[in-house]
């Protein structure tokens, strides 16, 4: 098992401000696939010229996290893939530590870095402070053993963003496959900042719409329509109240954000696909 067994997959969307730090942190002997959700040939040429180990694919449209990563994984011909967000950064020994972990538990499906919001060291006792099994992890850095996915596939492409990695982990556990975190593996992650700063507001509108859509869809998928409706009823009433409240205050930006939450949730309740996309001109 060596670096030749690994391909890094990075799904980007106007991530110019972040992608350089990410790529600079990856050993230049690793194969890297960048999936850019646009038709910007100048971005592709610039990245491939600066980083000879990178192959950049342009999708021509915004596929989102699930479909974009699936597209990237379809181009991988190694045994392992590291899915990485463009606002993530590896430390010097990150890849070596992934390989060490993979050699310890050869039947793993996913290994993730120990630094995860849900697994605070103050709340959890980590066995030997190293490798331990979990039910789910965050999607910013996921080391995949690709042969373990032949039966279940990768991400559910009905998700655009949010909960797609939770859904994947749930399907993995249903098939009695194994997910691990390793406290020796370090990956820095900004979070929610994979894109350029000049499109922050449009991305905030998209995030709010997608979060509510995904929340209802996920709960309906696993627990049924009634459970999903009950579990999101608080979000529904909160969004309605805040839309009217910010209308009264003439706060157009905040009103639009909560309208997005309301719209995403209603569309999911009605069984409509996740259709909303950031309104950004792609040249």
Locate 190 and state its tokens.
Answer: 């900004």
Locate 117 and state its tokens.
Answer: 């919001």
- Residue 282's Cβ-count burial label (10 Å; 0-12, 13-18, 19+) is middle
Beta bridge partners of 189: 88
pLDDT over 80 at 281, yes or no: no
More confident residue, 246 or 125: 246
Mean pLDDT along residues 229-256: 95
Res. 103 pLDDT band, cuts 50 70 90? very high
* CA gap 149, 146 in Å, rounded: 5
φ, ψ of residue 156 to 5 degrees: the values are: -75, 115
Mean pLDDT along residues 233-254: 95
What is the predicted pLDDT for the residue at 212? 98
Helix (DSSP H) and strand (DSSP E) numbers for the chain: 8, 10
Q: Is 110 helix (H, G, I), strand (E, B) or coil?
A: strand
pLDDT tens digits along 206-227: 999 999 999 999 999 999 999 9
Select from 123, 233, 249, 120 the least CA-distant residue to 183. Answer: 120
Alpha carbon of 149 to those of 75, 170, 209: distances in Å? 15, 13, 30
Can you give the pTM of this predicted structure? 0.90
pLDDT tens digits along 150-159: 999 999 999 9
pLDDT tens digits along 107-166: 999 999 986 654 444 444 555 557 889 999 999 999 999 999 999 999 999 999 999 999
Helical spans, DSSP H, in 36-76: 41-50, 64-73
Alpha carbon of 168 to those of 56, 86, 156, 260: distances in Å? 25, 20, 7, 26
């Amino acid at each position: 098992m060596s670096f030749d067994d690994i391909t890094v997959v990075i799904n980007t969307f106007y991530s110019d401000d972040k992608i350089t730090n990410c790529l600079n942190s990856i050993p230049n002997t690793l194969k890297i696939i960048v999936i850019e959700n646009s038709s910007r040939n100048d971005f592709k040429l610039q990245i491939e010229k600066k980083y000879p180990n990178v192959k950049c694919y342009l999708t021509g449209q915004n596929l989102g996290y699930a479909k974009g990563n699936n597209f990237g994984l379809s181009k991988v011909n190694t045994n392992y893939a590291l899915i990485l967000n463009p606002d993530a950064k590896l430390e010097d020994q990150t890849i070596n530590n992934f390989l060490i972990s993979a050699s310890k538990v050869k039947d793993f499906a996913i290994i993730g870095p120990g630094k995860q919001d849900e697994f605070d060291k103050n709340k959890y006792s980590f066995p030997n402070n190293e490798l331990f099994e979990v039910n789910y992890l965050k999607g910013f850095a996921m080391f995949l053993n690709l042969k373990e996915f032949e039966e279940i596939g990768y991400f559910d492409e009905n998700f655009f963003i949010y909960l797609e990695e939770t859904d994947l982990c749930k399907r993995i556990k249903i098939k009695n496959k194994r997910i691990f975190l390793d406290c020796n593996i370090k990956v820095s992650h900004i979070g929610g900042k994979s894109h350029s700063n000049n499109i922050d507001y449009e991305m905030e509108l998209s995030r709010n719409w997608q979060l509510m859509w995904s929340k209802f869809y996920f709960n309906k998928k696993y627990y049924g329509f009634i459970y999903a409706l009950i579990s999101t009823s608080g979000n529904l009433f909160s969004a309605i109240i805040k839309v009217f409240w910010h209308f009264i205050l003439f706060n157009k930006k905040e009103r639009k954000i909560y309208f997005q939450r309301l719209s995403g949730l209603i569309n999911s309740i009605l069984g409509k696909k996740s259709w909303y996309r950031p309104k950004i001109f792609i040249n």
